Structure 1
Amino acid sequence: MRDRDRGGRRRLRSARVAAPLTAAVAALLLAGCDEPAPVYDYAAVCVDPATQQRVADDRCDDDYDDVSGDGTLWFFYSTTGGDRRAPAVGQRVAPAKGSFRRPTHGAIARGVPAAGGPILRGGFGTHSGAGS
């Protein structure tokens, strides 16, 4: 049976309850969509080993183990401990602060800004697992 007022007319229900409820449910669902930022153990930059200068990352192969066609290699910085800064493209890497050897464990971040800057554990862009 439908709700009726005293005069027998059908009473319409208010949408005042439904609208806020819908908004609250939508907000909860959207809040659940936020994923935590990925955490990386290493940041990789592309380097010309002959000059030890950083070059554009697209010059290195996606496979961290191999030398690219033009002789460039990935250089890996740890994202933990100390003051870690990546050089800008054209600047030399500091061999004591990283390694040309691919890490055997942990996640690797690529996409370090071309202008250089601090090495962050949260990464910069694309990534790949280290593995063996």
Structure 2
Amino acid sequence: MAGFMIEDLESGKVRQFHWNEVEDLPCDGNATLLDVRTEGEYRRGHLNGFRNIPLDDLREHLDELERDKPIYVNCQTGLRSYLACRLLTQYGFSCSHLSGGYSFYQVVTQEQQTARSAYPCGMEKL
């Protein structure tokens, strides 16, 4: 699977965005933010503004998505969002998926928050 993902990224069939770009995603309705994890995973925590349509149900909800808006997709680790983007691009949507998924995003942002609280203003606590 990794080989297919790399080939698709290099050829431009699939695009991705990264954890540090999440806060800059358009939340004004100019894009669709989509979480393709299960409902249970979504309930346990999700990115702000992301709508939940599990990957297994995505084909049945294509008519609810706007083809003229870019779609940003996330899942737990990046595999399901990659698969969702492959599906969506086959149906004519412009799509990018979150590299590393929600779990990677959580780890990195929690580490940053911990570092900021431990060393405010970049200074080590004495």
TM range (shorter): under 0.3
Greater strand content: 1
Give me the TM-score of the superposition, normalised by structure 2: 0.27
Higher CA-based Rg: 1
Give me the TM-score of the superposition, normalised by structure 1: 0.27
Greater helix content: 2
